[in-house]
Structure 1
Amino acid sequence: MRKILFLTTQFPYPLDNGGKIGAFNGLSVISKNNKVVVVSFSEDSSGYLEGKKYFEKILPNVTFLEPVRQDVHIRKKPFKLASAIVRAMIKNVPYAISKFENAAMIKKIDRVIESEHWNLVFVDYINMCGYGRYIRKRYRECFDYYIFKDHNKEYELVEQEAQKYSGIKKKILELDSQRTLMCEKQEAREADIVYSVCDDNTRFLKAFNCNAHSMLPTYKIKENKTQNREFRNTYKVFFLGGLSWKANLDGLEWFVNDVFPIIKSNVPQASLTIIGGGLNYNPFEGKNGVEYLGYMKDISGVYEDKMVFIVPLFEGSGIRIKILEAFDNEVPVVSTSIGCGTIGAIDGEQLIVADDKDEFAKGVIKLLQDEKLNKEIRKNAKEFLQNKYSLTKRQEEFENEIQKLYRKKSINHIGEL
Structure 2
Amino acid sequence: MGDILFLGHRVPYPPDRGDKIRGFHILKYLSARKRVHLIAFADDPRDLAGKAPTEMTGHASVIWRAKSRLRASIEALLTRKPISLTAFDSSAVRGAVAALLAREAIDTIYVFSSQMAQYLPARPRQQVIMDFVDMDSAKFAAYASEGRGPMAWVMRREANLLFQYERAIAGRADASLFVSEAEAELFRERSGAERVQVVENGIDTEMFAPDAPFEQIDAIDALIVFTGQMDYRPNIEAVSWFAETIFPQIRVRFPQAQFAIVGRAPSEAVKALARQPGVIVTGEVTDVRGWLAAAAVVVAPLKLARGIQNKVLEAMAMARPVVASRAAAEGIDHADTLRVGETAGEITDAVIALLDDPAAAAHLGRAGRARVQARYSWNARLAPLDAILGIGVEAPPHRTAA
Tell whether the structures are fold-level matches, with TM greater than 0.5.
yes
CA contact (8 A) 1:16 1:299 kept: no
State how 1:210-221 maps to structure 2 within 5 Å. Answer: 210-221=194-205
Match of 1:117 in 2: 105
User: Which string of whole-angstrom CA distances, capped at 9 and with x for unpartnered residues, describes residues 228-260 of structure 1?
Assistant: 9xxx88321111112222221112111101111
**Contact persistence 2:203–2:310 (CA under 8 A):** no
2:130 maps to 1:127: no
Structure 2 unaligned blocks of 5 or more: 213-218, 393-402
Deviations 1:53-112 (A, max 9, x none): 6x22xxx1354624111148xxxxxxx323222322333332211111112211221222
Report if aligned partners of 1:316, 1:339 keep a CA contact under 8 Å in 2. yes
Deviation at 1:379, TM superposition (A): 1.9
Shift of 1:226: 6.7
8 Å Cα contact 1:271/1:289 also seen in 2 = yes
Are 2:53 and 1:68 equivalent residues in the alignment? no
Alignment of 1:14-413 (within 5 A): 14-49=14-49, 51-52=50-51, 55-56=53-54, 60-63=55-58, 65-71=60-66, 80-132=68-120, 135-137=121-123, 140-141=124-125, 144-206=126-188, 208-222=192-206, 234-279=221-266, 281=268, 282-346=271-335, 349-403=336-390
Q: Secondary structure at the match of 1:304?
A: helix
- Measure, in 2, the Cα distance between the counterparts of 1:168 and 1:280: 22
2: CA distance, partners of 1:298 / 1:82: 34
More deviation, 165-174/112-121: 165-174
Separation (CA, whole Å) in 2 of partners of 1:62 and 1:343: 33
Structure 1 segments unaligned to the other structure (5+ residues)? 73-79, 406-417
Q: Structure 1's 299 and 154: CA in aligned 2 closer, same or farther, altered over 3 A?
A: same
Matched residue type, 1:402: L
* Contact persistence 2:230–2:267 (CA under 8 A): no
1:415 aligns with none
Identity value in percent: 21
Pair 279,234 (structure 1): closer, same or farther in 2 beyond 3 Å: closer
Q: Deviation of residue 269 (structure 1)?
A: 2.3
Q: What is the CA-CA distance between 1:278 and the residue it aligns to?
A: 3.0
Deviation, 1:297, is: 4.5
- 1:2·1:33 contact (CA, 8 Å) conserved in 2? no
CA distance in 1, matches of 2:80, 2:171: 18
Write the distance in 2 (CA, Å) between the matches of 1:34 and 1:52. Answer: 19
Report the Cα offset of residue 225 of structure 1. 5.8
Is this contact kept in 2: 1:52–1:64, CA < 8 A?
no
Compare relative contact order (CA 8 Å, sep 6+) and give the higher one, 1 or 2: 2
Residue 262 to residue 167, structure 1, CA distance change in 2 (3 Å): closer
Q: Distance in 1 between matches of 2:311 and 2:188?
A: 26
Q: Which whole-Å deviations, capped at 9, do the CAs of 1:3-50 have from their partners, x for residues lacking one?
A: 11101111123322212112123224333312211111112343444x
CA distance, structure 1, for counterparts of residue 284 and residue 51 of structure 2: 21
Distance 2:220 2:380 in 1: 37
d(CA) in 2 for partners of 1:316 and 1:64?
Answer: 34
**Contact 2:177 2:197 (C-alpha < 8 Å) held by counterparts:** yes
* Alpha-carbon distance between aligned partners in 1 of 2:58 and 2:297, rounded to the nearest angstrom: 38
Could you say what the CA RMSD is over the residues aligned between the two structures, in angstroms? 2.6
Counterparts of 1:89 and 1:224 in 2: how far apart (Å)? 44
Q: Which residue of 2 aligns with 1:75?
A: none
Counterpart of 2:117 in structure 1: which amino acid?
C
Give the distance between the partners of 1:358 and 1:2, measured in 2 at CA: 55
Residue 115 of structure 1, CA deviation:
1.1
Determine the C-alpha separation between the residues in 1 that align with 2:225 and 2:380. 30
Task: Output the TM-score relative to the length of structure 1.
Answer: 0.84
In 1, the alpha carbon distance for the partners of 2:203 and 2:242 equals 29
Name the aligned partner's letter for residue 6 of structure 2.
F
Quote how far apart the aligned CAs of 1:161 are: 1.1
| Structure 1 Cα separation of the partners of residues 208 and 5 of structure 2 | 35
Count of residues in correspondence between the two structures: 383
Looking at structure 1, the residues matched to 383 and 17 of structure 2 have their Cα atoms a distance apart, in angstroms, of 26
Distance of aligned partners of 1:314 and 1:117 in 2 relative to their CA distance in 1, 3 Å threshold:
same
TM-score, length-scaled by structure 2 = 0.87
Q: Which residue of 2 aligns with 1:408?
A: none
